[in-house]
Amino acid sequence: MKASDLFVQCLENEGVDYIFGIPGEENTDLMESLADSDIEFVVVFHEQAAAFMADVYGRLTGKTGVCLATLGPGATNLMTGIGDAYLDYAPVVAITGQAGLERVHKESHQHVNIVGMFEEITKWSQQIKVAHTIPEIIRKAFKTSLLDKPGSVHIELPEDIAMTDTGGEPLPVAWIPVSQPDEAEVNRAAELINKAERPIILVGNGVIRDRASADLRKFAEEANIPVANTFMAKGVLPSDHPLTLYTVGMQEQDYVLCGFDTADLIITVGYDFVEYLPKYWNDEAMHKIVHLDTLPAEVDAYYPTEAELIGDVKESLKALSGHVQRKELWPKAKELKSQLEEKLHASDEESGSPVKPQRILADIKKAEKGDAVIISDVGAHKLWVARMYQPDKPNHTIISNGWASMGIAIPGAIAAKIADPDKPVVAVVGDGSFMMNAAELVTAKRMGLAFVVVIFHDSKFGLIEWKQLKEFNRSYAIEFTDPDFVDFAKSVGAKGVKVEHSSDLLPALEDGLASNEIVLIDVDVDYSENMKLTEQLGDYICKL
């Protein structure tokens, strides 16, 4: 058989349903083989969007997302989304074409060392040099993408290898054993927790990745220990749960850190340094730390672990549950919970024009009723989503935080609808980040998808302005001109709605979520709130 046919058989054997990408000359044999398969190829307008789609698909489903590009610029266009999957720990396999091996030893049209480039942003990057190795390489790629902390993997298929005659068949997809924590460390961790008077649980993205939210909730409730989560672990506890202390992750001293200042033990569960460095919540390295994760703790002066439970997060939580005594919730934790609720909802009903970011998010929460998947792009709005938006379910708020890449939300919304067509989806974007992949609305329309896009509109790179004003008290080179977003929506076959006053927002959101089409809601946002928040955090004093 042809090597490209074997390649596709191996993809089918791995359970691949979708490949996101753009075909090219050097992968025509592979595309011809895909044409006769059951795998759906989703054609996009930019390879970056394809990688983002694979990234979000992997996060939401737990299966490895797959994207494809040709050599040279097609491959390099994938790299932003692949970097996102690498640092945000999403399982993705990127496939790229390459020139024939007979010309890669010399200067050649569109040929550069793509494998070497991808080595820096993947768990494994490999060129197929011999056709009969295809089953081994594909099996290793998919297994590696899911092992330990998941991540991105890269396979390069040169065009002359793709057309080679070869033998072979796909390798069996082996079950990955579930690792168990060391019993001595479980006992040591339980002893530390039982002695602690004011413990806090810090939950990271690893709990979402390991689908361990129910186990985390059970452990927290049995031990009666309050829980704070990172940006990417939103929803591990419902927003109205009595033990939730909501979200940490602002680099400035945020209110929730009062709890950390007062605690005598921090239990980190699935916590990734890439989201929120320990120095921001343990700046004097005073806290004792119990670490639960799939990998040993990173070495960091601000992260002095006294026990490490290494293994599947679910299994570590289950093992610990039987050894930890139930505690009385310390009074100051109750007080902090009350204060946080007051601050998080203080502006929910504030009316006006332009609309405060807090009001926009409060209305999104009212409209989606706790069921929608929210895909946040990166910009000033992301910090408001991360701080204020509290979902009721895990894996229902997708934020790029390790890589923090603009442009993820529209491709991410497409992936979310593909992953679960019946689930409502809201893409929350700034006008700058929206324009980076706005063309993919055409992709969504072509596929018959329906979701809501909410644009925080200020005609600026608002997050950069926020930083500049904070550091230098002036801004520079952050303004731009936007198109008429309502007309833009109409031009791609979507519905556009302009919101200038807060009173018009909730009806627009409710109508959009009830619609069977793409609805773009353009909201004039009041980003004077950014500096007000900075001032509040600058005056932060823990009064508990």
Are 62 and 100 within one domain? yes
Assess whether pLDDT exceeds 90 at residue 331.
Answer: no
CATH number, residue 228: 3.40.50.1220
Residue 544 lies in a domain: no
Pairing of strands 265-269, 65-69: unpaired
| Whole-prediction pTM | 0.95
- E strands of 366-514, at which residues? 373-376, 397-399, 425-430, 452-457, 495-499
The angle subtended at Cα 469 by Cα 467 and Cα 472, nearest 5°, is 100
Residue with tokens 């060391």: 182
CA distances from 142 to 74, 168, 369, 483 (A): 22, 18, 36, 42
Tell me which of 341, 364, 398 is where a domain ends. 341
Residues 236, 209 contacting (CB under 8 angstroms): no
Spatial separation of the C-alpha atoms in residues 310 and 338, rounded to whole Å: 34
Q: Does some domain include residue 541?
A: no
- pLDDT tens for 186-209 read 999 999 999 999 999 999 999 999
Query: Does residue 365 sit in the same domain as residue 513?
Result: yes
* Domain shared by 362 and 322, yes or no: no
Note whether 497 and 377 are same-domain residues: yes
Burial (Cβ within 10 Å: 0-12, 13-18, ≥19) of residue 542: middle
Distances (CA, A) of 426 to 43, 229, 414, 520: 22, 22, 10, 10
H or E element in which residue 521 lies: strand 519-524
Helical residues (DSSP H) of 402-474, grouped into ranges: 409-419, 431-436, 440-446, 462-472
Distance between CA atoms of residues 290 and 152, nearest Å: 28
Residues 478 and 518 in one domain: yes
State yes or no: pLDDT of 102 exceeds 70: no
Question: Would residue 372 count as lying in a domain?
Answer: yes
Choose the final residue of a domain: 131, 162, 193.
162
Adjacent-strand bridge partners of 460: 479
Same-domain status, 67 and 145 = yes
Of 341, 362, 391, the domain-final residue:
341
31 band by pLDDT with thresholds 50, 70 and 90:
very high
Assess whether 210 and 313 both reside in one domain: yes
Q: Is residue 171 included in any domain, yes or no?
A: no
Residue 177 belongs to a domain:
no
Between CA 179 and CA 347 the distance in angstroms is 45
At 333 the three-state DSSP class reads helix
Q: Give the range among 58-72, 331-345, 425-439 with minimum mean pLDDT.
A: 331-345
Are 361 and 305 members of one domain?
Answer: no
pLDDT digits over 147-179, tens only? 989 999 999 999 999 999 999 999 999 888 889
pLDDT tens column, 230-244: 999 999 999 999 999
Q: What whole-number distance in Å separates Cα of residue 162 and Cα of residue 142?
A: 19
For residue 108, pLDDT over 70 is answered with: no
Residue range of the domain that includes 308: 183-341
Residue 383 pLDDT exceeds 70: yes
The whole-number average pLDDT for the span 9-37 is: 97
Residue 369 lies in a domain: yes
424 Cβ contact list (under 8 Å, min separation 6): 368, 371, 372, 373, 451, 452, 513
- Per-residue pLDDT at 447 exceeds 70: yes
Tally of domains within the chain: 3
Are 466 and 400 members of one domain?
yes
pLDDT band at 107 (very low <50, low <70, confident <90, very high): low
Mean pLDDT of 537-541: 58
Same domain flag for 57 and 145: yes
Lowest mean per-residue pLDDT among 26-35, 88-97, 340-349: 340-349
pLDDT at 330 (0 to 100): 81
CATH code of the domain containing 118: 3.40.50.970
Which of these ranges, 93-107, 220-234, 315-329, 440-454, has the smallest mean pLDDT?
A: 93-107
Catalogue the E-assigned strands of 60-167: 65-69, 92-98, 124-127, 152-158
Of the candidates 488, 403, 484, the residue with the CA atom closest to the CA atom of residue 441: 488
Do 497 and 351 fall within a single domain? Answer: yes
